[in-house]
Amino acid sequence: MGEEVIISNKQVILKHYVSGYPKESDMELKNSTIKLNVPEGSNVVILKNLYLSCDPYMRGRMKKTEGSYIDSFTPGSPITGFGVAKVLESGDSNFQKGDLVWGMTGWEEYSIVTPTQNNLFKINDKDVPLSYYTGILGMPRMTAYGETVFVSAASRAVGQLVGQFAKMLGCYVVGSAGSKEKVDLLKSKFEFDEAFNYKEEHDLDAALKRYFPDGIDIYFENVGGKMLDAVLLNMKLHGRIVACGMISQYNLEQTEGVHNLFYLISKRIRMEGFIIFDYFHLYSKYLEMIIPKIKAGNVVYVEDVVEGLENAPTALVGLFSGHNIGKQVVMVSSE
Amino acid sequence: MGEEVIISNKQVILKHYVSGYPKESDMELKNSTIKLNVPEGSNVVILKNLYLSCDPYMRGRMKKTEGSYIDSFTPGSPITGFGVAKVLESGDSNFQKGDLVWGMTGWEEYSIVTPTQNNLFKINDKDVPLSYYTGILGMPRMTAYGETVFVSAASRAVGQLVGQFAKMLGCYVVGSAGSKEKVDLLKSKFEFDEAFNYKEEHDLDAALKRYFPDGIDIYFENVGGKMLDAVLLNMKLHGRIVACGMISQYNLEQTEGVHNLFYLISKRIRMEGFIIFDYFHLYSKYLEMIIPKIKAGNVVYVEDVVEGLENAPTALVGLFSGHNIGKQVVMVSSE
């Protein structure tokens, strides 16, 4: 495999398990080195990381969890997550030097990954921004492929697409978000029918009644807590709740209790959680559907791209105060 | 329609809306009178009540509710609920004098009911105890027609049948109940695989792990609150929660919060509420299935029958302290 190449590799390390809101100081930048060769007989792939995805689910990996759908991060090691990368060397015949890929990688300049069926995907269509493969063309966005009506955290990575897909399906779509700027974005750019700033609503129940005088058929749940309680009061009979995330709860040591669950019974509501991993088999169909729409401008996708691995901790922390507008991405390198 | 007949009619009146646990003093016995004639041109049915059903859902009707699946009781009027009765006079051609019926009636000796499609059913098979039509052959029990694994409130009207049906389907079935006597009943009479007294478990999570080391596939939810939180910790991936009732919450002014809902997402759990009213179209099929099993002794059904309308308030109140063993019924008259 040629000459041994060792180069410097900047990494973002999780220092320790986190309680409460994560802070930049929970992470540190470390200058490490990496050998850019595939050992004889190994099937690893050596990646140069280009874009990294910041996602709320990563909060769960910052604490010690058991039996979760995904492992905790390892304190002292780099954070891992979805990203876009270029293949530098490959011991796996499915990937060649020069390929662009997206999948599970490290928060570092270079990563060594052992490909499995579900952790690394070759990028074939390069005619769209590469960063999109951390978002609309990558992991979290396949989750939006379905119908909805009320969407919380609606300007974020998932919410913005849920709303647009629901509109394509002919739904009346209302979104909530945490600032005037985001609410304006929902209405002007993503073409939601209505949107409101939940921080300015003292009574979420009253806000929902204003926009849904006849009730909500479908709630796409991204936030949990008080919003879920208010939504339960406003669901229609036989309504459906798609449980995708509960970001309002991730940083609380003791989660808020949800008090209105009896409405699941009295209104015969179905509430079901899902994780994108269960739907990877639909990914190629999803790409067939979405790429032409992106190219034709029928789907709008807003990213908040921060440049430089050194800014990755701030970007990740900012997710939980709603600092980002649209999908939060870190550009490690543009090529 | 012959001579006018006016006779005395003892009634159980709800005095006022109830907060907290209902007390006998929230109800009062009243001596009223009733005219036992169907007015000309009216389609009402005049019933002599035989058995009345005490059900936890009735607690919800003791408070002022809006948009619930069933109306509140009217303070100053008799309580209403499911019961078994004999037809004394009928203005509806579907019912004849002398027919036995079950359906929605009043907590009184005689009631006047306007039949609709879903409130009054003729009893054809009289070869089983008539009181069964308040339970296993009546309203709440159709809900049990399905598979389950963990059943809370398992010795009660619904739970005892859920467990037996789940056993017929070849499930491993564990139930919880609130006394040693009930736990013994679950194991000896209803043939649950295991049962435990939740009041003696300081750690419900640990108790569930003891009986379900590999997790719970199906939870039949009758109690809510802390039990639901413990169950969420122990559900398997893609588990299902059938939400039938939440009796632990009905008497609380502020319900307990449920804290572990994020497991709906991480374990992709489906939780769905249902109300028996949606399944009335299956009732005749259910009877075909269940009556032969009762006659053959393949299904056991335990009732707690109190005699006398004057004891109805105590029977109803006792539901919420778990006083009853099996389905609580009030016998107003044996014929």
Task: Residue A60: list chain B partners with CB under 8 A.
Answer: 266
Residue B287 in contact with partner chain A when CB distance is under 8 A: no
Check CB contact under 8 Å for B228 and A256: no
Nearest CB neighbour to B262, from listed A246, A262, A264: A246
The pLDDT confidence band at residue B1, using thresholds 50, 70 and 90, is very low
Check CB contact under 8 Å for B271 and A274: no
The lowest-confidence range among A128-137, A164-173, B15-24, B115-124 is: A128-137
Is it the case that residue A162 has pLDDT exceeding 50? yes
Taking residues A190-211, what's their average pLDDT?
96
Q: What is the pLDDT of residue A1?
A: 46
Q: Which of A299, A334, A333 is nearest to A9 (CA)?
A: A333
Token duo for residue B7:
């006779």
Residue B152 Cα, gap to closest chain A Cα (Å): 16
Is it the case that residue A226 has pLDDT exceeding 90? yes
B276 vs A86, residue with greater confidence: A86
CATH of domain B6-135+301-331: 3.90.180.10
Residue B225 in contact with partner chain A when CB distance is under 8 A: no
pLDDT tens across B24-43, in order? 899 999 999 999 999 989 99
Helix-then-strand count for chain A, H and E:
8, 15
The residue assigned the tokens 């004394």 is: B88
Q: What is the pLDDT of residue A292?
A: 87
Query: What is the DSSP track for A243-299?
Result: E---GGGTT-SSPPPB--THHHHHTT-EEEE--GGGGGGGHHHHHHHHHHHHHTTSS
The pLDDT confidence band at residue A328, using thresholds 50, 70 and 90, is confident
Taking residues B97-120, what's their average pLDDT?
91
Is it the case that residue B68 has pLDDT exceeding 50? yes
Q: Which of B221, B55, B27, B247 is nearest to B134 (CA)?
A: B55
A42 vs A146, residue with greater confidence: A42
Classified as helix, coil or strand, B82 is: strand
Q: Which of B257, B283, B267, B160 is nearest to A262 (CA)?
A: B257
Stated as kind and residue range, the H or E segment containing B288 is: helix B283-295
**CB crowding A37-71: b at 16 or more within 10 Å, else e:** bbeeeeebbbbbbbbbbbbbbbbbbbbeeeebbee
B229 vs B158, residue with greater confidence: B229
Task: In whole angstroms, give the CA distance from residue A95 to residue A82.
Answer: 18
Q: What is the pLDDT of residue B217?
A: 93
Residue B243 Cα, gap to closest chain A Cα (Å): 6
pLDDT tens across A46-80, in order? 999 988 888 878 888 888 876 566 788 999 999 99
Distances from the Cα of B61 to the Cαs of A40, A288, B19, B257, in angstroms? 73, 52, 11, 22
pLDDT tens across A12-25, in order? 999 999 888 888 89
Calculate what percentage of chain B has a pLDDT beyond 70.
95
The pLDDT confidence band at residue B320, using thresholds 50, 70 and 90, is confident
Taking residues A260-265, what's their average pLDDT?
94
Q: What is the pLDDT of residue B123?
A: 87
Count Cα neighbours of B42 within 13 Å in the Cβ-side half-sphere.
13
Give the count of beta carbons closer than 10 Å to the beta carbon of residue A280: 15
Q: What is the pLDDT of residue A276?
A: 75
Taking residues A218-233, what's their average pLDDT?
96
Q: For chain B, give the mean pLDDT.
A: 87
pLDDT tens across A97-115, in order? 999 998 899 999 999 999 9
Residue A307 Cα, gap to closest chain B Cα (Å): 31
Q: In this predicted complex, what is the ipTM?
A: 0.75
Is it the case that residue A282 has pLDDT exceeding 80? no
Nearest CB neighbour to A259, from listed B69, B257, B263: B257
pLDDT tens across B166-221, in order? 888 788 999 999 999 999 999 999 999 999 999 999 999 999 999 999 999 999 99
Terminal-residue alpha carbon distance, chain B: 23
The residue type at B243: A
Taking residues A199-208, what's their average pLDDT?
96
Terminal-residue alpha carbon distance, chain A: 23
Is it the case that residue A281 has pLDDT exceeding 60? yes
Task: Residue A259: list chain B partners with CB under 8 A.
Answer: 254-258
Q: Which CATH class is domain A6-135+302-331?
A: alpha beta
Check CB contact under 8 Å for A256 and B257: yes
Taking residues B297-302, what's their average pLDDT?
87
Check CB contact under 8 Å for B267 and A255: no
Classified as helix, coil or strand, A51 is: strand
Residue A225 in contact with partner chain B when CB distance is under 8 A: no
Q: What is the pLDDT of residue B279?
A: 77
Task: In whole angstroms, give the CA distance from residue A130 to residue A83.
Answer: 10
Rg of chain B in Å (alpha carbons): 21
A44 and A305 in contact (C-beta within 8 Å)?
no
- Phi and psi at residue B8, to the nearest 5°: -75, 150
Classified as helix, coil or strand, A138 is: coil
Taking residues A4-8, what's their average pLDDT?
89
- Spell out the residues 6+ positions from residue B134 whose beta carbon is closer than 8 angstroms to its own: B51, B52, B53, B82, B83, B84, B102, B327, B329
Residue B261 in contact with partner chain A when CB distance is under 8 A: yes
Task: Residue A268: list chain B partners with CB under 8 A.
Answer: 69, 272-275, 278
Domain ranges of chain A: 6-135+302-331, 140-276
Give the count of beta carbons closer than 10 Å to the beta carbon of residue B181: 12
The residue assigned the tokens 């009184």 is: B108
Task: Residue B246: list chain A partners with CB under 8 A.
Answer: 261-262, 265
Stated as kind and residue range, the H or E segment containing B52 is: strand B45-54
Residue A69 in contact with partner chain B when CB distance is under 8 A: yes
Report the residue of B214, B229, B272, B279 to disrupt the A interface, i.e. the one with the largest count of A CBs within 10 Å: B272
CATH number (1.10.240.10, 3.40.50.720, 3.40.50.2300, 2.60.40.10) of A140-276 reads: 3.40.50.720
Token duo for residue B267:
């374990």
Homologous superfamily in CATH for domain B141-276: NAD(P)-binding Rossmann-like Domain (3.40.50.720)
Q: What is the pLDDT of residue A30?
A: 92
Q: What is the pLDDT of residue A140?
A: 47
Token duo for residue A114:
């052992």
Calculate what percentage of chain A has a pLDDT beyond 70.
95
Q: Which residue of B has its CA nearest to A263?
A: B273
pLDDT tens across B218-241, in order? 999 999 999 999 999 999 999 999
